[in-house]
């Protein structure tokens, strides 16, 4: 019995050293969790650019952000974990030089109950391979992660990374740029991700169009707002053929078009509220539609697409097509969003794919039957 326990703990020690030891120079490694205080900072290797440690800032961290700034100005890469809990800090911008944070399995990058925090403010952070969570930060109005776009291990290994933001200021907003970076990573799962988009019409890029009603603008690549195609504007709906990003949602309702093939550029629809990302309803004449290049969708409800009350032929048309009748999953393969067509959830389990599986299994079974005889 003792022998097994010994083996087990040896194994753990090896894996820990493996992760830490292989990443950092001696002298830049901390084995235990370090709570940063005026005492512990004395042993902190401020001249290491790469540190292996589980760093924590909490209510015992009796140093101001200004005092911390010089201590962390050389820190570019952190392997381990990083936690801010019960601090009075207004931001984490004393870590503004940190470009990489990578966690071991079970590691995290977490902000919990920081009542004065206004922004995270890590402007150099490019790569984060940790589950990221912010909760209870009632003054938090922005992340300020302008460069964060890589969620892949230094080894090149890809695994699922989760991001969750809850109980922040009602003014909390995400920039289009931040959201574009996040959405382009298939392994990043935005869980409990609420808030709104920062107001930035026109400034981010000339092609941002903010839609208040059913006005349709020409030559936009990025549109924000609730975009509606209806009988009043359907004649100019071709204008949507340049749109790649929708920050908001898209509704095609009560038109009398028969075909709608203009959404050829559309790749991402990101809704931060509880509306359906895409809704196609009450188009009595519509028999054909396509969104051939749609890559990813984000919404805060289970449904990403609702198709309802159109021409019956449209139902037959879309039900056959994977681009509509599909469940979107996260990187782990867990169901994330479903599509609903005429009140029914599109269930891929009942379509072609898994029947193939059954046929394959029976062929293998038949073969193995012959061989064993």
Ligand X SMILES: *[C@@H]1O[C@H](CO)[C@@H](O)[C@H](O)[C@H]1NC(C)=O
85 binds ligand X (CB under 6 A): no
Backbone angles phi, psi at 208, to 5 degrees: -85, 130
- Residues near 217 by Cβ (< 8 Å), separated by ≥ 6? 209, 211, 223, 239
157 binds ligand X (CB under 6 A): yes
284 binds ligand X (CB under 6 A): no
Per-residue binding letters, 227-266, with ligand X (x by CB under 6 A):
----x------------------------x----------
Q: How far apart are CA 240 and CA 262, in angstroms?
A: 6
60 binds ligand X (CB under 6 A): yes
47 binds ligand X (CB under 6 A): yes
330 binds ligand X (CB under 6 A): no
Backbone angles phi, psi at 180, to 5 degrees: -65, -45
Tell me the closest approach of the beta carbon of residue 45 to ligand X, in angstroms: 6
Residue among 171, 192, 329, 362 that touches ligand X (CB under 6 A): 192
Count of residues in contact with ligand X, rule CB under 6 A: 23
180 binds ligand X (CB under 6 A): no
The strand pairing partners of 185, in sequence order, are: none
- Residues near 337 by Cβ (< 8 Å), separated by ≥ 6? 277, 297, 299, 302, 303, 304, 327, 328
Tell me the closest approach of the beta carbon of residue 72 to ligand X, in angstroms: 14
Q: How far apart are CA 113 and CA 250, in angstroms?
A: 36
196 binds ligand X (CB under 6 A): no
Q: How far apart are CA 179 and CA 181, in angstroms?
A: 5
Q: Is 186 helix (H, G, I), strand (E, B) or coil?
A: coil
The strand pairing partners of 135, in sequence order, are: 112, 166
Report which of 255, 254, 325 is spatially closest to residue 291, judged by C-alpha positions: 325
167 binds ligand X (CB under 6 A): yes
Cβ nearer to ligand X, comparing 175 with 336:
336
Cβ nearer to ligand X, comparing 153 with 196:
153
Tell me the closest approach of the beta carbon of residue 302 to ligand X, in angstroms: 9
Cβ nearer to ligand X, comparing 231 with 241:
231
Cα distances (angstroms) measured from residue 320 to each of 11, 283, 290, 341, 347: 51, 19, 12, 11, 12
Q: Are 173 and 204 in contact (CB under 8 A)?
A: no
> Which pair of tokens denotes residue 32?
């235990």
> The tokens 């005429």 sit on which residue?
342
Per-residue binding letters, 100-139, with ligand X (x by CB under 6 A):
---------------------------x-------xx---
Piece of 145-153, 222-230, 289-297, 355-363 that binds ligand X (CB under 6 A):
145-153
Site residues (CB under 6 A) for ligand X? 37-39, 47-48, 60, 62, 127, 135-136, 150, 152-157, 164, 166-167, 192, 231, 256
């Amino acid at each position: 019995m003792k022998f097994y326990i010994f083996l087990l703990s040896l194994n753990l020690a090896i894996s820990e050293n493996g992760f830490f030891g292989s990443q950092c120079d001696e002298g830049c490694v901390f084995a235990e969790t370090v709570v940063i205080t005026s005492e512990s900072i004395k042993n902190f290797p401020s001249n290491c650019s790469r540190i292996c440690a589980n760093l924590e800032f909490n209510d015992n961290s009796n140093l101001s952000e200004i005092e911390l700034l010089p201590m962390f100005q050389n820190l570019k890469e952190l392997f381990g974990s990083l936690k801010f809990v019960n601090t009075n800090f207004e931001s984490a911008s004393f870590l503004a030089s940190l470009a990489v944070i990578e966690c071991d399995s079970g590691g995290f990058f977490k902000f919990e109950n920081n009542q004065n925090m206004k922004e995270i403010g890590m402007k150099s952070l490019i790569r984060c391979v940790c589950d990221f969570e912010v909760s209870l930060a009632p003054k938090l109005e922005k992340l300020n992660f302008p460069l964060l776009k890589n969620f892949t291990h230094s080894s090149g290994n890809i695994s699922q990374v989760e991001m969750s933001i809850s109980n922040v200021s009602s003014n909390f907003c995400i920039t289009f740029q931040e959201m574009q970076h996040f959405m382009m990573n298939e392994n990043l799962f935005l869980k409990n991700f609420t808030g709104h988009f920062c107001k930035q019409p026109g400034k981010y890029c000339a092609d941002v169009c903010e839609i208040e009603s059913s006005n349709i603008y020409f030559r936009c690549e990025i549109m924000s707002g609730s975009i509606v195609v209806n009988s009043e504007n359907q004649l100019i709906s071709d204008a949507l053929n340049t749109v790649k990003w929708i920050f908001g949602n898209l509704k095609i309702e009560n038109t009398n078009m028969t075909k709608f093939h203009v959404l050829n550029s559309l790749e991402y629809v990101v809704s931060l509220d509880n509306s359906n990302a895409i809704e196609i309803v009450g188009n009595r004449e519509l028999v054909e539609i396509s969104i051939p290049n749609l890559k990813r969708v984000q919404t805060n409800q289970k449904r990403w697409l609702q198709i309802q009350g159109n021409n019956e032929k449209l139902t037959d048309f879309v039900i056959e097509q994977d681009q509509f009748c599909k469940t979107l999953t996260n990187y782990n393969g867990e169901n994330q969003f479903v599509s609903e067509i005429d009140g029914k959830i599109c269930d891929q389990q009942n379509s072609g794919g898994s029947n193939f599986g059954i046929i394959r299994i029976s062929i293998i079974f038949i073969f193995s039957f012959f061989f064993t005889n």
